[in-house]
């Protein structure tokens, strides 16, 4: 796996398009303009739950410059699920382009396309809507009660998903102690700096093209072709540059509506949501209520654990089942305990739609677990790191449900290296500076690598050689700035012996690149870089075959080094890649090209251990994170600088989850802080001194031993920070976020 000297894999390099980004040359969707392009605007519901009694669009339609107005009355009515991933994906289909019922403040009511944005905005205001209000329900536990307002026919409980290992109840009965806690985590927004935007064009051949900064072009094509009843050959989805996504651009939000407007008008149509709209009318991370029960023995052995999670999916199902399923797996990957149960109930409420967000269920599971376990360790008078080391899975650990090996899990290495670097054992857990109280805390988190075990997990790629020995890759990967495609070029460069810079990439376009399941589930490195490896090996074989003809040496004797094909036996026998490719064209009269499909056959886990020092201002309740160490088991870092970048960004997001972020609503369900002014994401001056360390012990099924990092890195942050706060104050916190007013209230109650 790592037995040879790697040239490009393991090297830090900037992402491929960095030069375009620092000069402003890269074209994002919002930067694109088409001749005679119309501008679209959406009308969103001002009420949380209502039947539309009357909707009158006549004044809007009569406004000069208005080209189309769509509502539930004239839009196609095909149910769909915006989180659909593949053609026959069976998940609840309760969404429509427009419906006669609105289910949250921010739900779609109508859309207008007009010659310019001002006209579209004016037309939206001219649409008259009379709502017959229905009782709303915002709290997921309330929504489960008998007699709660029904948001969709059949009730608010979408499903109950259960995963179980061993005999949990018996183990509880035998445990020395049993601890129980209730936790809540809020609905947060991704806050990609690029708001949601899409452009659609529709030509006289009946061809629809959608430009959208999304994470799943192939799934969007399925959804759009379904709701507009168009053949897939007539729908093309292209992903221009993505200005940040984090899961928020994985599900189809405005795209089907923009596509409909283009189809109706025959003109290019652009819709850009503003920040307020983006924060409530696209997607959020699921809020949750988590009941957690653990059985432990006096010596600190965790013998059983039982999770009961109520997951608030908001007004529509979208990812409800996918996130529930994903989160139910992860907790079985971390501790040695054989008795574990995870029950999750996704529930509809009249709140903004929850969908995919970085971590995909893991933050909602590991925040409660890690805070709960620190409380237990304290009660047992045990250092939390010692508790972790006693219970964490060893490299030869197995999933207790199936008795299958985890792979090469290294959470123990992460904890040990982190504890050493952070000087954990020699630092006081709490320091009282009078008004300011400091504390340290740590937590472990984990996340998966792809969808193996849940459903197909496939990436296909095409790679071809150019005459001069450079290459062109056709990849369905949607790089979000995280560097997936850069990593793919490093893998290919390694195998072909060419500089990754000399591999040009055509990315995510349903008609220019082969199928890719989509960029989610942390599959970029683990699955798609494996596809890159496979297609590169296939091209390598063809190059060697052609070189053997040219050099009159058996192919097995040849290797690729630095742009040359060289005989291992007689290094004098060599040719440049250029000579080989030209000879292939001239003599064999062929192209050197390969198409390969890679299907992942392994579900390994990535781990991280984070350590934080915080300072609480007991007069204001404000918490600062001062010092931070993050250690991650990544198998092998293909691009260490990019891996660090992922972890550092995750720390910003995770501290926000712990301390400052969370959508807040008034009693009628209207968001109160859906703006960057009021929704507090961390600024540069609020970031701690940060150190990142990598554990690179290899994960066999991964390309060159590599596994995922992007999602895993955000999982341990919030519990590490909250554990530090708990230690600083000697108070347990179970509800995120720890905003100053909440902290103050708790402090006042205590004194």
Partner 1 sequence: MQLVKLLINGKEYEVAVKKNWTLLYVLREILNFTGTKCGCNTGDCGACKVLIDGEPVNSCVVLATKAEGKKIVTIEGIAEDNNLHPIQQAFIEAGAVQCGFCTPGMIITAKALLDKNPSPSREEIAQALDNNLCRCTGYIKIMDAIELAASRLRGEA
Structure tokens at 723: 């554990």
Smallest distance from partner 1 to CB 15, Å? 6
Shortest separation between residue 479's beta carbon and partner 1, angstroms: 9
Q: Please identify, using beta-carbon distances, which residue of 138 and 246 lies nearer to partner 1.
A: 246
Shortest separation between residue 229's beta carbon and partner 1, angstroms? 34
**Number of helical (H) and strand (E) elements in the chain, helices listed first:** 18, 31
Task: Tell which residue, 40, 198, 197, 196, has the closest CA to residue 119.
Answer: 40
Q: What angle do CA 397, 399, 404 make, to 5 degrees?
A: 85
| Nearest residue (CB) to partner 1, 195 versus 701 | 195
Residue 224 Cβ, how far from partner 1 at the closest point, in Å? 24
The total number of residues written for the chain in this structure:
751
Rounded CA separation 198/257 (Å)? 10
Nearest distance, CB of residue 188 and partner 1, angstroms: 12
Q: Which is nearer to partner 1, 279 or 581 (CB)?
A: 279
CA 304 to chain centre: 30
Nearer to partner 1, 224 or 357 (CB): 357
Least distance (Å) from partner 1 to the CB of residue 365?
Answer: 23
CB of 299 to partner 1, least distance (A): 38
SS3 string of 205-249? CCCEEEECCCCCHHHHHHHHHHHCCCCHHHEEEECCECCCCCCCC
Nearer to partner 1, 602 or 623 (CB): 623
Q: CB-wise, 36 or 677, nearer to partner 1?
A: 677
Q: Which two tokens stand for residue 7?
A: 């040239």
b or e along 661-686 (b: 16 or more beta carbons within 10 Å of the residue's beta carbon)?
bbbebeeebbbebbeeeebbbbeeee
Measured from the CB atom, is 514 or 710 closer to partner 1? 710
Residue 335 or 520 having the CB closest to partner 1: 520
By C-beta, is 23 or 204 nearer to partner 1? 23
Q: Which is nearer to partner 1, 401 or 691 (CB)?
A: 691
Nearest Cα to 220, choosing from 17, 80, 53, 330?
A: 80
In the complex, minimum distance from the CB of residue 713 to partner 1, in angstroms, rounded to a whole number: 10
Q: Give the containing element (helix H, strand E) for 160.
A: none
Distance, in Å, from the CA atom of 479 to the CA atom of 314, rounded to the nearest integer, reads 28
Query: Which strand ranges, in their side-by-side order, compose the sheet holding 564-567?
Result: 558-561, 564-567, 574-576
Closest contact distance (angstroms) between CB of 558 and partner 1 is 36
Closer residue to partner 1 (CB): 245 or 461:
245
Nearer to partner 1, 469 or 608 (CB): 608
| Binding interface with partner 1 (CB under 8 A) | 12, 14-15, 17-28, 30-31, 33, 190-195, 241-246, 274-275, 480-483, 641-642, 644-645, 648-653, 675-677, 681, 683-685, 687, 690
Could you tell me the smallest distance in angstroms from the CB atom of residue 34 to partner 1? 13
Strand pairing of 287-296 and 177-185?
antiparallel
Bridge partners of 312, per DSSP, are: 287, 347
Contact 631, 720 (CB under 8 A): no
Q: Which is nearer to partner 1, 294 or 660 (CB)?
A: 660
> In terms of C-beta density within 10 A (0-12 exposed, 13-18 middle, 19 or more buried), how is residue 404 classed?
exposed
User: Shortest Cβ distance from residue 657 to partner 1 (Å)?
Assistant: 13
Q: How far is the CB of 595 from partner 1 (least distance, A)?
A: 29
- Please state the closest distance from residue 316 (CB atom) to partner 1, in A: 25
Question: Which residues lie below 8 Å from residue 266, measured CB to CB, with a gap of 6+?
Answer: 202, 203, 204
- Name the phi and psi angles at 560, rounded to 5: -105, 120
For partner 1, which is the closer residue by CB, 12 or 233? 12
Q: Give the shortest CB-14-to-partner 1 separation in angstroms.
A: 5
DSSP state, residue 48: S
- Among residues 638, 626, 750, which one has the least CA distance to residue 686? 626
687 in Cβ contact with 624 (< 8 Å): no
Instruction: State CA 348 to chain mean position distance.
Output: 22
195/441 with CB nearer partner 1: 195
Between 274 and 423, CB nearer to partner 1: 274
CA end-to-end distance (rounded Å), the chain: 58
Give the residues across from 340 on adjacent strands: 165, 305
Neighbours of 142 (CB within 10 A): 13
Please give the structure tokens belonging to residue 412: 């123990």
Q: Which two tokens stand for residue 701?
A: 């099924």
CB of 719 to partner 1, least distance (A): 18
CA angle 246, 156, 98 (to 5 degrees): 65
Element containing residue 112 per DSSP (H, E): strand 108-114
- Angle in degrees, CA 681, 685, 688, rounded to 5: 90
Residue the block writes with tokens 């699920």? 81
CB of 272 to partner 1, least distance (A): 8
Are 600 and 450 spatial neighbours (Cβ–Cβ below 8 Å)? yes
């Amino acid at each position: 796996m790592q037995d040879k000297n790697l040239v490009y894999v393991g090297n830090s390099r900037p992402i491929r398009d960095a030069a375009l980004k620092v000069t402003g040359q890269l074209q994002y969707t919002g930067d694109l303009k088409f001749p005679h392009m119309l501008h679209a605007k959406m009308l969103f519901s001002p009420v949380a739950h209502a039947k539309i009694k009357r909707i009158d669009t006549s004044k809007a339609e009569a406004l000069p410059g208005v080209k189309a107005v769509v509502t539930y009355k004239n839009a196609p009515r095909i149910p769909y699920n915006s989180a659909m991933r593949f053609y026959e994906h069976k998940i609840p289909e309760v969404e429509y382009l427009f419906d006669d019922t609105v289910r949250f403040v921010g739900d779609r009511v109508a859309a207008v396309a007009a010659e310019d944005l001002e006209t579209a905005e004016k037309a939206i205001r001219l649409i008259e809507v009379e709502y017959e209000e229905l009782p709303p329900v915002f709290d997921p536990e309330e929504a489960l009660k008998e007699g709660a307002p029904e948001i969709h026919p059949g009730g608010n409980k979408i499903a109950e998903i259960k995963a179980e290992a061993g005999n949990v109840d018996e183990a509880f009965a035998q445990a020395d102690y049993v601890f129980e806690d209730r936790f809540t985590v809020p609905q947060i927004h991704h806050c990609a700096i690029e708001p949601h935007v899409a452009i659609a064009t529709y030509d006289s051949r009946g061809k629809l093209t959608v430009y959208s900064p999304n994470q799943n072009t192939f799934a969007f094509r399925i959804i759009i072709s379904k709701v507009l009843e168009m053949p897939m050959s007539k729908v093309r989805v292209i992903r221009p540059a993505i200005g940040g996504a984090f899961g928020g651009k994985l599900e189809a939000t405005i795209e089907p509506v923009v596509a409909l407007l283009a189809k109706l008008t025959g003109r290019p149509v652009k819709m850009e949501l503003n920040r307020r709209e983006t924060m409530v009318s696209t997607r959020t991370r699921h809020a949750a209520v988590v009941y957690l029960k653990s059985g432990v023995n006096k010596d600190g052995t965790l013998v059983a654990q039982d999770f009961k999670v109520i997951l608030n999916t908001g007004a529509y199902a979208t990812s409800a089942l996918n996130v529930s399923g994903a989160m139910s797996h992860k907790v079985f990957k971390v501790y040695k305990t054989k008795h574990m149960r995870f029950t999750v109930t996704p529930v509809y409420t009249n709140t903004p739609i929850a969908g995919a967000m970085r971590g995909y269920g893991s933050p909602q599971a590991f925040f409660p677990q890690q805070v709960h376990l620190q409380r237990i360790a304290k009660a047992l008078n045990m250092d939390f790191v010692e508790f972790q080391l006693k219970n964490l899975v060893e490299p030869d650990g197995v999933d207790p449900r199936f008795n299958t090996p985890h792979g090469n899990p290294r959470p123990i290495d992460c904890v040990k290296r982190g504890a050493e670097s952070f000087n954990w054992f020699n630092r006081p857990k709490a320091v009282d500076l009078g008004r300011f109280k400091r504390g340290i805390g740590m937590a472990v988190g984990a996340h998966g690598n792809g969808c193996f075990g849940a459903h197909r997990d496939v990436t296909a790629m095409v790679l071809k050689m150019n005459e001069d020995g450079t290459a062109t890759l056709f990849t369905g990967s949607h790089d979000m700035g995280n560097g997936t495609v850069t990593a793919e070029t490093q893998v290919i460069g390694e195998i072909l012996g060419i500089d990754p810079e000399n591999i040009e990439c055509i990315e995510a376009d349903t008609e220019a690149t082969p199928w890719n399941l989509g960029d989610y589930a942390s599959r970029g490195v683990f699955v798609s870089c494996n596809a890159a490896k496979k297609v590169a090996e296939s091209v390598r074989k063809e190059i060697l075959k052609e070189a053997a003809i040219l050099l009159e040496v058996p192919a097995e004797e040849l290797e690729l080094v630095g742009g040359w094909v060289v005989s291992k036996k007689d290094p004098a026998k060599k040719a440049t890649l250029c000579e080989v490719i030209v000879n292939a064209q001239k003599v064999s009269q062929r192209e050197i090209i390969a198409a390969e499909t890679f299907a992942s056959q392994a579900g390994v886990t990535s781990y991280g251990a984070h350590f934080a020092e915080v300072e609480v201002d007991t007069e204001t309740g404000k918490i600062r994170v001062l010092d931070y160490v993050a250690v991650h088991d990544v198998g092998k870092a293909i691009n260490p600088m990019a891996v660090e970048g992922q972890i550092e960004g995750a720390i910003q997001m995770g501290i926000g989850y712990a301390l400052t972020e969370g959508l807040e609503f008034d009693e009628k369900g209207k968001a109160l802080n859906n703006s960057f002014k009021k929704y507090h994401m961390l600024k540069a001056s609020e970031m701690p001194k940060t150190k990142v360390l990598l554990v690179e012990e290899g994960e066999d099924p991964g390309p060159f031993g590599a596994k995922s990092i992007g999602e895993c890195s955000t999982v341990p942050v919030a519990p590490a920070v909250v554990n530090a706060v708990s230690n600083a104050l000697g108070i347990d916190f179970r509800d995120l976020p720890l905003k100053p007013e909440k902290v103050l209230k708790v402090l006042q109650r205590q004194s």
